[in-house]
Structure 1
């Protein structure tokens, strides 16, 4: 169990270290975050100062619930007490959201064109404040979509520019116009035909004229208009628009409300109108028949000198008149049932059906189901504007329509059977009366026939007049189902933007996110070494004490700043090297790098200086025969050195020179020659190392970059240890594998990696205590130049 706990703790510590390293990668770029957050805040404030004010304009409508008699079928489909009310609200909102209502409202407002004034970051809508008077000739066509830029040059002249694309005559056409005109001069071409007169425009201001596309306007307002109920099951609808032109948005909401109410009134009065049209048609026909029958009745009585009927004839006449009137109404009802049965699946035809009461049908159950079916058809039509056929709301509505339609069909079948039976009974009675009529004298029989026709037309005409009066009263009693509680007015608007705090917050957040994304991108695609952990994971050789990053301008900070953090890191490196190199005697240390710029020569010079401070004799050899820099670190002039010895021109004692640092001697690279690498192939370099081992405690060899020149491989075979320098934030991760390969391939027995430019905390171990510790008690101390 203890081993498992140790493993878990190790995993947790590794994960914590990984997270800390990742956090450090972000934190070290804190100036980026600070600068971009400040920039974001400035941009947010700038946008706030140069953005138009936005206002929310609202209107509130009350939807009245009118109680109607519901059939058992309706009750079955509306088990909840508020089902009809909530469904009616949904229906009204669906109607309000329909494309046709928006388009009609915009067409009524007649917004054929709009004027805007160009501002820094937006275009200000000049609603009801046109800068120019626009005169459009009758039947003139102006291209939609192209933005017309108008600049007033002086009191009598203006410049007009149009660029862009428009659809004219059925295909897209490019517009490119730049022209100066005088006020009152027609602007006529293949795209436009209008005249501008001066109104209240300002010289040198830029104005934009846009001829509006009605469909585009409709889509725009449908997108920005919000329609909702304030609370669940509430019968109050709120219409809201947020925009920059207050009066414009208020006018649109009010016009949309008027069109919505008008639509509801038309829908509710359509059946009454159908009834009135049917009655008027019947009255016109009956009026002609009544006039004709009245003239025949008067002529027959005058010509045959018959004024009144006998008792038997009067009885037959009364019975016959009663039966024929009843037959007429029953036939109307029978035709009504058949038409309703035929059109029950046709929403448009059934909407044209007259009220059943017009033809004397008083069945409240049938009337209720017919009204319910019409309402459901209307709801389905409204929903079809905004949802697809497979939408759950449509599917539920279709099921409800089917239930009501099936119930209405069953009721119609039973009514048809009863009405046809009644017609047969009336026909039988009619035949019996006809038999009695045939037994009367010829004169009375003819008079009865003529009088019966007149009286029948007169009574039916009177009945229809009564129904017309009822239909007119019904139409007049129709009131809007929608009542405007609060119209949209400018005074009741609410300012919604711009918001200074929100703009600043977005700006700061954007400024913080941008460097985060950039740094994340750099981390993902960065192939450079960032932490010691990355080196330790990839290296198969020891990783020694890192050399701390410093800000000193001195080339030898271990001498100028002996108590600094970087001096401590070199002392730690010295300790680690002594630990790796076993035994006594002179120690030869080879300092290598794979590419230039990793700090190889800097480490060589400062390591040699630190070793010399321990009263050890140190020899520093500049073995970079191609691009030497060691003399610059020691502040000495170039002179004879290793090249001259290897070429046989100088002996060993001649090339070894002392330096200003006690116990530190220096072998310079020497005189420049061609192909210096060939000099290392001989045995003279080995003789140099063997000879100097007896004179010095430490020999530091500063080699050329390994990936450019293989000289380091030749010198490493004479070294006790080969150190490979990698620089944090500079060396590539792939170099770790290349060091592994170089060590394995060349069979270097003792080697290690030294990290350069490590941060002041988080990377050290061993003797290197870092800035946190060396400043405590020791502090910074700088040796005077005279002491060096």
Structure 2
């Protein structure tokens, strides 16, 4: 045998491929059923395939520095490089907070529905109306409300409620509530543009055009967080990769929703970025505004005080006296005020840095006239680092190493600022002391003037100082407002999302048909594979060759017949020829010389129902028809069968003889088959094993050998009782019956064990009830006898039953007769 043949034989021993293929062929109806069901389901599923659209826009992320101011003067600072900005913007686009802002802006939690034949369609912007929800009040949640447009001015809302209260949602505070609802069917008419204020619904419904179409639609308020999470999946690509040009894209079933979300998303982020850039200028303006309010009061108070003094004094032309002294003193006091303002700024800045952690709200030093580059640059650097830290919080964990580095840089800058503050305060205090000396000298000269003149000059100086401070604040505010007005967002829309008229795409429905076809194939294949693995029965003679060393002497074909006397009733059938072949093969198995010129053949099996009686009767008939004196003995004392086929009462037989209740002559019966005698098993005894194992049983067989040429022993199943082993001692050959689709593979181990231990000799298998008509793909060319009950080889040599075609079984084309068909047992 070649290596390839050995491999195939080994594989077949593990898994019977031919049996698997046969089972698969038999499951053709299951394949057809699966195919019909699968294709029907695929067709049904294809009706739900929706068209998907895509929308996209292009935006640019640039570091747009305010061109009106230098780094020393500007109220804005460079928050980071372009790469950092791009990363931050991408992270913001994908953030939940950003999606919330866009969803809130567009009120995307309102679902517009057009009813379809197989599924509902998202009718956003396809309806002749638009719904504006009052987010200050809760809206009924997840409940479809029908809107029927009646005419150009009015519509009807309707819904069905089963309970007095229903679940609602507060979209402003993001919490669920319970609202009252009318039980049963509800409907009410409204005008377009009216404010609808109901316990469960608070909206304004506007028509989208002057001439609108009538019809019916549905709308509902859906899951807010599900909507937000759905749009968090916006796709962002850098074009080219690593650049600051971003492509935003979304796909979905409603093109208008996609376009609105992408464009509004860009607007929201553009506005947010501009507000962030203006944050420093806005904080500065707010600080100046609060200072201006106090300064205006101070100016007004100084003016009122001077006017009041003028009204009370009799001093004439006091303003012209000592003009030089007053101008000089006024200038010194203005300088004093400026120095004190700077000292206050340093004091406040020092306290802020010690007690606060968010440094993005620090006002610019230039507000109070500090033009020192070291202070301005350090403050700008500190604000930049603080803003960078806040930006990275969007995309990084709190324990990321980058935050530790930024915090170290911030602390370093703070130390530099503290050192500059100490140095600057020291210089300012020195300058202030010099001013005090100059002021004191001029005041000593002014004290020489009359009291009224001194008071007038003092009040006049105070007014000028307050007015000068007011003018400085106004100038600084104008500067901050100019900076704010000149700022532009770092997010610039290059190409807005737009409906260009392109069609959408549908998922290929053929994939569903392909899946259906694959499932229609896979299920029968899987079932056939599973059944083959679980099939523990013998199906073909070749199974015996693989599983046992016991030779196979013949194959008996399947045939339905009213009785077991097939050979006698149809001597020219292929079944009869099979038994003749087995008769011929038995000549090679006889051991030694025939005792008294008689050959004894034992027929047994693993269990009942495998064809022992059928084999015994027909083998005995074959020998008898050949002119041999043949005796058939029924030794299955537990389950007698032979008597029924020969029409003899089982009242006297082996059991009677073994208990010495009858002689051999009395238990031997003649049959209607020439040369064939019969000894029945007789009544069932209470101790069959003891009787079979008795010496009298052996003597009986030896005695009968003197009168017959062949004795056929129909014994109990070897796999169930041990009687057959004792009988085998008196047999020249043993036939072990195996029935197709009935005998289990595990049963063969019984005879294998007996055969290997030499407990039974000269034993051969007979494969019974075999139907090879395409069942397992085997074509046998055995040299032993075989026969098939449906014309295996007729051609005029044998007479066989004609098998009625399946399509004519119930027609009158073939004569039918009712018979009591018996299995080959």
TM-score by length of structure 1 reads 0.71
Cα drift, residue 66 of structure 1: 0.9
Distance 2:553 2:461 in 1: 128
Which secondary structure does the structure 1 equivalent of 2:445 belong to? coil
- Is 1:17 paired with 2:11? yes
Measured in 1, the distance between the counterparts of 2:512 and 2:442 equals: 98
Gaps of 5+ in 2: 67-79, 149-155, 170-174, 191-197, 206-212, 802-825
**Do 1:643 and 1:676's aligned partners in 2 also have CA atoms closer than 8 Å?**
no
Tell me the SS of whatever aligns to 2:476: helix
Q: Tell me, in whole angstroms, the C-alpha distance in 1 between the residues paired with 2:558 and 2:93.
A: 72
Q: 1:340 offset after TM fit, Å?
A: 3.5
Deviation for aligned residue 1:54: 3.0
- Please name the residue that 2:227 is paired with: 217
Equivalent residue for 1:326?
339
CA distance in 2, matches of 1:476, 1:523: 83
What residue number does 2:61 align with?
Answer: 64
1:313-712 equivalences under 5 Å are 314-343=327-356, 346=357, 349-359=358-368, 360=370, 362-363=373-374, 365-383=377-395, 389=398, 395-442=400-447, 443=449, 449-491=458-500, 495-515=504-524, 518=527, 542-545=549-552, 582-583=591-592, 585=594, 588-596=600-608, 598=610, 638-639=647-648, 644=653, 646-647=655-656, 651=665, 655=669, 657=671, 677=688, 680=692, 686=698, 689-690=701-702, 701-705=713-717, 712=724
Moved more, 597-606 or 48-57: 597-606
1:78 maps to which residue?
A: none
Deviation readout 1:669-690 (Å, 9 max, x if unpaired): 6888687957756667646644
Structure richer in helix, relative to its length? 1
Distance in 2, matches of 1:129 and 1:255, equals 19
Offset, 1:277: 0.9
* Contact 2:656 2:683 (C-alpha < 8 Å) held by counterparts: no
CA distance in 2, matches of 1:95, 1:429: 54
Q: What is the distance in 2 between the residues matched to 1:486 and 1:705?
A: 91
SS of the residue corresponding to residue 440 of structure 1 reads helix
Corresponding residue SS for 2:48: coil
User: Deviation at 1:655?
Assistant: 3.8
Structure 1 pair 180–84 and aligned structure 2 pair: CA distance change class (3 A): same
CA distance in 1, matches of 2:778, 2:143: 68
The answer to whether the 8 A contact 2:632-2:678 is kept is: yes
* Distance in 2 (alpha carbons) for counterparts of 1:580 and 1:172: 95
- Distance in 2 between residues matched to 1:560 and 1:408, nearest whole Å: 117
Q: In the TM superposition, what are the counterparts of 1:746-757 in structure 2 within 5 Å? A: 747-748=759-760
Deviations 1:274-302, CA, capped at 9 Å, x for gaps = 12111211122222212223444566678
Q: 8 Å contact 2:248–2:262 — kept in the other structure?
A: yes
1:740 & 1:520 partners in 2: Cα distance?
28
Partner Cα separation in structure 2 for residue 700 and residue 150 of structure 1 = 94
1:351 aligns to what SS in structure 2? coil
The equivalent position to 1:100 in structure 2, one of 94, 97, 101, is: 97
Partner of 1:274 in structure 2?
A: 283
Matches of 1:732 and 1:210, distance apart in 2: 66
Report the alpha carbon displacement of residue 468 of structure 1 after superposing the two structures with TM: 1.6
Q: Secondary structure at the match of 1:60?
A: strand
The residue number in structure 1 matching 2:88 is: 91
Q: Structure 1: which 5+ runs fail to align?
A: 1-5, 70-82
In 1, distance between residues paired with 2:60 and 2:572? 90
Partner of 2:107: 110
* C-alpha contact 1:147 1:162 (8 A) present in aligned 2: no
Shift of 1:395: 1.3
Q: Which moved more, 1:690-699 or 1:334-343?
A: 690-699
CA drift at 1:499:
0.9
The 8 Å contact of residues 149 and 161 in structure 1, kept in 2 or not, is answered as no
CA drift of 1:457 comes to 2.7
2:379–2:417 Cα contact (<8 Å) kept = no
Residue 332 of structure 1 deviates from its aligned partner by 1.9
Tell me, yes or no, if the aligned pair for 2:692 and 2:723 is still in contact at 8 Å. Answer: yes
Selected match of 1:38 from 32, 35, 38: 35
Rounded to whole Å, the distance in 1 between the matches of 2:608 and 2:295 is 115
Structure 1 residue 55: Cα displacement: 0.5
Measured at CA, do residues 767 and 527 of structure 1 come closer, stay the same or move farther in structure 2, by a change above 3 Å?
A: closer
Asked if the contact 2:740–2:767 (Cα under 8 Å) also holds between the matched residues in 1, the reply is yes
Output one character per residue of 1:81-134: Cα deviation in whole Å (capped at 9) or x when no partner: xx9444433322221222233233333333565465666764444445679999
Distance in 1, matches of 2:177 and 2:726, equals 76
Change (3 A) 1:748 1:485: farther
Deviations 1:605-644, CA, capped at 9 Å, x for gaps: 7888999999999876665566677899xxx664457964
RMSD: 5.9
Measured in 1, the distance between the counterparts of 2:470 and 2:400 equals 47
Q: Is the 8 A contact 1:230 1:237 kept in 2?
A: yes
Give the TM-score, by structure 2 length. 0.69
Measure the CA separation in 2 of the matches of 1:751 and 1:177.
Answer: 91
Q: Which residue of 2 aligns with 1:245?
A: 254
Q: Provide closer, same or farther for how the CA distance between residues 376 and 182 of structure 1 changes in structure 2, counting only shifts above 3 A.
A: closer
